[in-house]
């Protein structure tokens, strides 16, 4: 039974690495339209228009479920970083780090939600008393877009820097302290490599966009014409809470497939950039146990 549980845990960890590892997910957050090549656009448009008009009461529920999945995705990304065997993080320390990360990300979400609520109240006040219209919907959409992209950029680049100290035996808190010292003493090297990493991450996304437009999407359409079998994910018209949650889960499945398609490009470029890391051959010593 123990062996079976270990095998299941290994399968889950490998799946999480493929879906959440490195900077996976950035391709959807940076260019959301790439996801629609894997979705039935007509069914999604019909569902979204229904939520924004006749079924507006379900809109908060859909936003809550979508936000929950984004938070779980961020937690999954951090978990896949901590379970890397080369970091040699003990289960107890890993558990404490995950608790700290979960608390931190919920604190950020709380601050963001409070900011959105204040913006909504302010826009309603100005519209009601002074007839001043604020473009809150577009502002919120852009803000969420930027926040998700920044989350992936920041989470991956900082973990990449920390990993070089953790691999040398430093405890997480000491690794963060040494990284701060390195950042102060090597500002040019830190900024140059971080910007290079961001450029490579962005390049991988646009490379994926070319791949899905020129190869994957035409292959899906060709298969549909030849066999009348569609590989695109489709949502259905619904009028219940469970139905809307199910449709969000369908979009989540498309997101997971997109991550699996993006993984080979990401892994290739991530391996190349890790070899070029300025700390790759640096002699940083090894912390005491």
Distance CA 156, CA 162 (A): 10
pLDDT at 287: 43
Q: How large is the average pLDDT for residues 282-286?
A: 55
Lowest mean pLDDT, pick from 117-121, 238-242, 248-252: 117-121
Which has more pLDDT, 282 or 225?
A: 225
- The domain ranges of the chain are 2-275
What count of other Cβ atoms lies within 10 Å of the Cβ of residue 204? 24
Q: Give the DSSP H or E segment for 250.
A: helix 241-275
107-154 pLDDT, tens digit each: 888 888 888 878 777 877 777 666 766 666 677 778 888 889 999 999
The distance from CA 50 to its chain's CA centroid, rounded to whole angstroms, is 27
Mean pLDDT across the chain: 87
Instruction: Report the pLDDT averaged over residues 217-229.
Output: 87
What is the predicted pLDDT for the residue at 177?
92
Contacts of 196 (CB under 8 A, 6+ apart): 273, 276
pLDDT at 41: 83
| Helical packing angle, 41-52 and 241-275, nearest 10° | 120
pLDDT at 52 over 60: yes
| 21-37 average pLDDT score | 92
pLDDT tens track for 144-175: 888 899 999 999 999 999 998 998 888 888 99
Give me the percent of the chain exceeding a pLDDT of 90. 46
Judged by DSSP in three states, 74 sits in helix
**Residue 189: predicted pLDDT:** 92
pLDDT score of 245: 93
Q: How far apart are CA 22 and CA 266, in angstroms?
A: 8
Q: Quick one: tokens of 171? A: 């405890």
Cβ pair 165, 86 in contact under 8 A: no
182-196 confidence digits (pLDDT tens) = 999 999 999 999 999
Q: What is the dihedral of CA 158, 156, 146, 102, to 10 degrees?
A: -80
27: three-class secondary structure by DSSP: helix
Range 207-230 average pLDDT:
90
Q: Which pLDDT belongs to residue 135?
A: 63
pLDDT given for residue 289 in this prediction: 38
Contact between 36 and 27 under an 8 Å Cβ cutoff? The reply is no
């Amino acid at each position: 039974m123990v062996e079976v549980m270990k095998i299941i845990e290994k399968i889950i960890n490998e799946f999480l690495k493929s879906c959440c590892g490195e900077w996976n997910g950035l391709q959807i957050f940076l260019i959301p339209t790439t996801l629609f090549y894997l979705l039935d656009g007509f069914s999604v448009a019909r569902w979204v228009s229904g939520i924004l008009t006749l079924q507006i009461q379900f809109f908060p529920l859909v936003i809550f479920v979508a936000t929950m999945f984004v938070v779980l995705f961020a937690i999954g990304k951090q978990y896949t970083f901590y379970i890397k065997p080369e970091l040699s993080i003990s289960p107890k320390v890993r558990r404490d780090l995950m608790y700290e990360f979960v608390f931190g990300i919920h604190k950020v979400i709380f601050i963001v939600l409070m900011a959105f609520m204040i913006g909504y109240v302010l826009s309603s006040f100005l519209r009601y008393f002074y007839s001043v219209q604020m473009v809150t919907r577009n502002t919120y959409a852009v803000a969420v877009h930027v926040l998700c992209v920044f989350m992936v950029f920041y989470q991956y680049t900082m973990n990449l820097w920390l990993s070089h100290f953790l691999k040398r035996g430093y405890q997480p808190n000491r690794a963060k302290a040494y990284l701060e010292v390195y950042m102060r003493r090597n500002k040019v090297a830190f900024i140059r490599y971080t910007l290079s990493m961001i450029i490579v991450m962005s390049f991988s996304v646009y490379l994926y966009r070319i791949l899905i437009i020129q190869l994957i999407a035409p292959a899906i359409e060709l298969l549909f014409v030849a066999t009348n079998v569609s590989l695109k994910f489709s949502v259905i018209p619904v009028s219940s809470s469970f139905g809307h949650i199910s449709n969000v889960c369908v979009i989540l499945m498309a997101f997971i497939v997109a991550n699996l398609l993006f993984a080979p490009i990401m892994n290739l470029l991530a391996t190349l950039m890790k070899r070029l890391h300025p700390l790759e051959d640096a002699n940083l010593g090894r912390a005491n146990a």
